Amino acid sequence: MTKEISGFSKLSKAEKIDWIANHYFESPEEAKALVKSYWNSDVKLQQLHDDFIENTVSNFYLPMGIAPNFNINGKTYTVPMVIEESSVVAAAAKSAKFWATKGGFKTTVLNTEKIGQVHFIFTGDKEKLQGFFQLIKPNFFYDTEPLTANMQKRGGGILDIELRDKSTDIPGYFQLHATFETKDSMGANFINSCLEQFAKTLKEEAAEYDGFSAEEKNIRIVMSILSNFVTGCVVRAEVSCKVEELTDKNIPDPHAFAEKFITAVKIAEVEPYRAVTHNKGIMNGVDAVVLATGNDFRAVEAAVHAYASKDGRYSSLSHAEVTDGIFRFWLDLPLALGTVGGLTSLHPLVKFALTVLEKPSAPELMQIVAATGLAQNFAALRSLTTTGIQEGHMKMHLNNILNQFGATDVEREMVRKHFKKHAISHAAAVNYIESLRKN
């Protein structure tokens, strides 16, 4: 049976599901029942979800958890997190509670500029192009006024436009490099619309410019697109306390803990193989809040990891030190986030999450996200340098194993009692469950 199909997008939802079930499953009816079991019973709500993307057949659920007690700049936040990985929410909550009694998280938005570029080819005289750009630069602002009017009312808009010569990298390659302020929206559609108008203005003005030769008038636009590498949209989060205050049941010697913790961070600063996993732990917290608030976690991931490589080598995003007896742990993250537009006004659980966060502005959300990432990193490093990371993680993973085997309440209780005294592994848990059932 061929699995190629023409006109799939034109099929109804039911027809798409039928085709998939009949082509890929031994029991098509079971497959169809599974897909439909994840539909929302509210028809209007399901239609809303169907319209988010193309060729929708069902919903894919992830757990939404809550990490309370985040003291950020003196205000207490309850942070919603969407993630499938065991122990992440618990670790964030534990870190939040640890630091709440030590002054909490201090965060600062360093800047909020976003970037977009028009990439084009010009093979003529560079000095002529520079003079032409300076002459028509006001036109870029004028021609985009219908697009920028509402944004300007909110205090945003186009900040600046530069001509950048990249011809040493690619012959004839130049950019219009523009910076934007988009206030509480992430601003992708706004920026891209402005860029496309820049490209149109550039091409039309060049065609009419008397200072260009016939060949120079033919500027070739390659593409117009925002950049997710938001080096001008950065937030800092940090925690600090006296070394003596770094105590809990797993930290008997705070000075030894601080020394080991800082060494672990320095290893991530110099060893890329460690840095990737180190930064992934930060992103466990970051992505979970970004997802919960309806923002683009792929864009955030791309920007953050590029930022981790900005000095020519992939390195830790976080840093730690002890100065004059004060332990300090901090990170800087490029975060382009929005609290209006996109899914923020459409997805019911995104609205729920933003309400739990008390409807933050975009800069405030940047700070919450950065603090959650730092909390997650602290929790991971504390575990790695004390008890080891697997103890807590495997306790949480045990629930997944019990669910996988459909364990009864009695079996769950017996399994948990058994593994209070024995090391947890997937194989050990499976063997114990099977032995219970045999007996």
The single residue of 85, 271, 321, 332 carrying the catalytic annotation is 85
Closest CA to 235 of 75, 370, 376, 365: 370
- Given this model, what pLDDT does residue 411 score? 81
Catalytic residue among 196, 296, 364, 397: 296
Task: Say whether 393 is catalytic.
Answer: yes
Q: Which of 392, 92, 382 is nearest to 264 (CA)?
A: 382
What is the pLDDT, as a whole number, of residue 249?
86
- CATH number assigned to the domain covering 64-105+234-388: 3.90.770.10
pTM reported for the whole predicted model: 0.88
Banded model confidence at residue 3, pLDDT cuts 50, 70, 90? confident
Q: What is the pLDDT of residues 133-170, one digit of tens each?
A: 999 999 999 999 999 999 999 999 999 999 999 999 99
Catalytic site residue 426?
Answer: no
Q: How far is it, in rounded angstroms, from Cα 345 to Cα 41? A: 21
Nearest to 384 by CA among 309, 292, 278, 310: 278
Q: Where are the domains of the chain?
A: 8-42, 64-105+234-388, 114-227, 392-438
Q: Which fold has domain 114-227?
A: Alpha-Beta Plaits (3.30.70)
Angle between helices 297-307 and 272-292 (to 10 degrees): 150
Least confident of 152-156, 226-230, 311-315, 434-438: 434-438
DSSP string covering 16-60 = HHHHHHHHH-SSHHHHHHHHHHTS-SSHHHHHHHHTTSSS-----
91-128 pLDDT, tens digit each: 999 999 999 999 999 999 999 999 999 999 999 999 99
Distance (Å, whole) CA 98 – CA 80: 18
Among 16, 119, 393, 397, the active-site one is 393
First to last CA, the chain: 47
Q: Distance between CA atoms of 92 and 379, rounded to whole angstroms?
A: 7
280, 305, 395, 418: which one is catalytic? 280
Per-residue b or e along 162-196, where b marks 16 or more CB atoms closer than 10 Å to that residue's CB: ebeeeeeeeeebbebbbbbbbbbbbbbebbebbbb
CA-CA distances (angstroms) from residue 21 to 59, 60, 91, 159, 341? 16, 17, 40, 52, 36
Phi-psi region of 116 (alpha: psi -120 to 50; beta: other; left: phi over 0): beta
Domains 64-105+234-388 and 114-227 share a fold: no
Annotation says 413 is catalytic = no
Catalytic residue at 296? Answer: yes
